[in-house]
Structure 1
Amino acid sequence: MPVTVGPYGQSQPSCFDRVKMGFMMGFAVGMAAGALFGTFSCLREIGMRGRELMGGVGKTMMQSGGTFGTFMAIGMGIRC
């Protein structure tokens, strides 16, 4: 399959690069959402404090980042 060239001689990113970028963007958005929702949840509903709070928020951030990143990567893969 020939590489498509843009108007200024630049080649387009490969499908794998697009999927990687989709995962990274989704992971970043998921981490931000996980920080907001995780902090609220741990403070308000569970009543965590200190080291326990940081661990709970970090776990929530990683879970939501991984989940949203995976779905964004799948979406970018479908678009290739």
Structure 2
Amino acid sequence: MPVTVGPYGQSQPNCFDRIKMGFMMGFAVGMAAGALFGTFSCLRIGMRGRELMGGVGKTMMQSGGTFGTFMAIGMGIRC
């Protein structure tokens, strides 16, 4: 299969690179959303200090991984 070339001579990213890029974009958005919602929920139940940081970090990683996975799946479908 020939390599597709863009208008200025660059080659287009392959399917794996697109999936990887989709995961990274989704992970970043999920981390931001996790920071907002995690901070609010942890403060609401009364966490402070080290416990707060651990709870917010855990929420950020969970939401980042979840949203990143769905974005990667979506990019994989588009390939």
Q: TM-score range by the shorter chain?
A: over 0.9
Question: Equivalents in 2 of 1:7, 1:61: separation in Å?
Answer: 39
Q: Which runs of 5+ in 1 are unaligned?
A: none
Question: Equivalents in 1 of 2:50, 2:73: separation in Å?
Answer: 35
Question: Equivalents in 2 of 1:74, 1:58: separation in Å?
Answer: 24
Q: Which runs of 5+ in 2 are unaligned?
A: none
The C-alpha deviation readout for 1:24-57, integer Å capped at 9, x for no partner, is: 000000000000000000001x110000000000
Moved more, 30-39 or 1-10: 1-10
TM-score normalised to structure 2 length: 0.98
Runs (4+) of structure 1 exceeding 3 A deviation are: none
When the two chains are superposed, the root-mean-square deviation of aligned CA atoms in Å is 0.5
- SS of the counterpart of 1:7? coil
Question: Equivalents in 2 of 1:7, 1:56: separation in Å?
Answer: 47
Identity of aligned residues (%): 97
Give the deviation of 1:7 after TM superposition: 1.1
Question: Equivalents in 2 of 1:66, 1:7: separation in Å?
Answer: 35
Count the aligned residue pairs: 79
Give the deviation of 1:2 after TM superposition: 1.2
